[in-house]
Structure 1
Amino acid sequence: MGVDVVLYRVVGAGPDRRRVSYVPAEVLPDPDDVLLDLLTRARGGGRTPLLDRVDPIGELVVPADRAPQLLAELRRLAEAARAAPELAHLRRLDRLARRCRQDGEMEIRFEGD
């Protein structure tokens, strides 16, 4: 039931912005619930308000202009990591967030099952 993270690129954005579409640029799957377990354990306390909104059965969209906040929260989330797979997953997620921050035509989606 994990939470997959997908980096999307905006394509086809015209002047009216109504014909915007998104294509996946990179996917970080969570088949073993590594991210979901970590988010559940760290939820609350006010340290990760953006990540606290991740829904295991829904979707949370993080646009490029929110990537700096996401990166800061990922550092806080790493403090709750207990095992090497969690840290490895966070490193990959950090890389996606950095790509998103560098390119205003990208967004990250946390997609629950």
Structure 2
Amino acid sequence: MGVDVALTQVIQPGTSGKRRQLTQLDVVPDPADVFPGICQRSNLPMLRRVDPYRDLILTAAEMPQLLAELQTERTLATTDEERTLLTAVHHLAERCATDPPTELHLQGD
């Protein structure tokens, strides 16, 4: 029931969603189910939206809030595994924030 986090490039010629093309650029896998646990115990609104059973797609416009919440959770992390995962997700969120045609896909099982 892990949540993998993928940085995805979006190519959408025109306004129709039918021609939308997605290319995965990078991924932070979560085989040990660490990220859902962090999100479930968090009181922060963006992280509370993460559902281990559904996908959540975030745009570059949402990255400032996500980055702040990830930083807060990094300071509260209780294990090296949590800090490592949060640092990797933070890195992808930074890339997304600086590259508007990308999205961050939080992929539940």
Q: TM-score range by the shorter chain?
A: over 0.9
* TM-score, length basis structure 2: 0.92
Q: What is the CA-CA distance between 1:21 and the residue it aligns to? A: 1.5
> Larger % of helix: which?
2
Does structure 1 conserve the Cα–Cα contact (< 8 Å) formed by 2:74 and 2:87? no
Match of 2:87 in 1: 91
Consecutive unaligned residues of structure 2, counting only runs of 5 or more, are none
* TM-score, length basis structure 1: 0.89
Segments of 4+ in structure 1 off by > 3 A?
none
Q: What is the CA-CA distance between 1:41 and the residue it aligns to? A: 2.1
SS at match of 1:58: coil
Consecutive unaligned residues of structure 1, counting only runs of 5 or more, are none
Distance, in Å, in 2 between the alignment partners of 1:15 and 1:34 is 38
Q: What is the CA-CA distance between 1:93 and the residue it aligns to? A: 0.5
SS at match of 2:62: helix
Answer yes or no: is 1:72 the counterpart of 2:78: no
Does structure 2 conserve the Cα–Cα contact (< 8 Å) formed by 1:41 and 1:80? no
SS at match of 1:62: strand
> Residues 40-55 of structure 1: matches in 2 within 5 Å?
40-42=40-42, 44=43, 48-55=44-51
Match of 1:102 in 2: 98
Does structure 2 conserve the Cα–Cα contact (< 8 Å) formed by 1:38 and 1:80? no
Q: Identity of counterpart residues, as a percentage?
A: 38
Does structure 1 conserve the Cα–Cα contact (< 8 Å) formed by 2:3 and 2:106? yes
SS at match of 1:54: coil
Does structure 1 conserve the Cα–Cα contact (< 8 Å) formed by 2:8 and 2:26? yes
CA root-mean-square deviation? 1.2
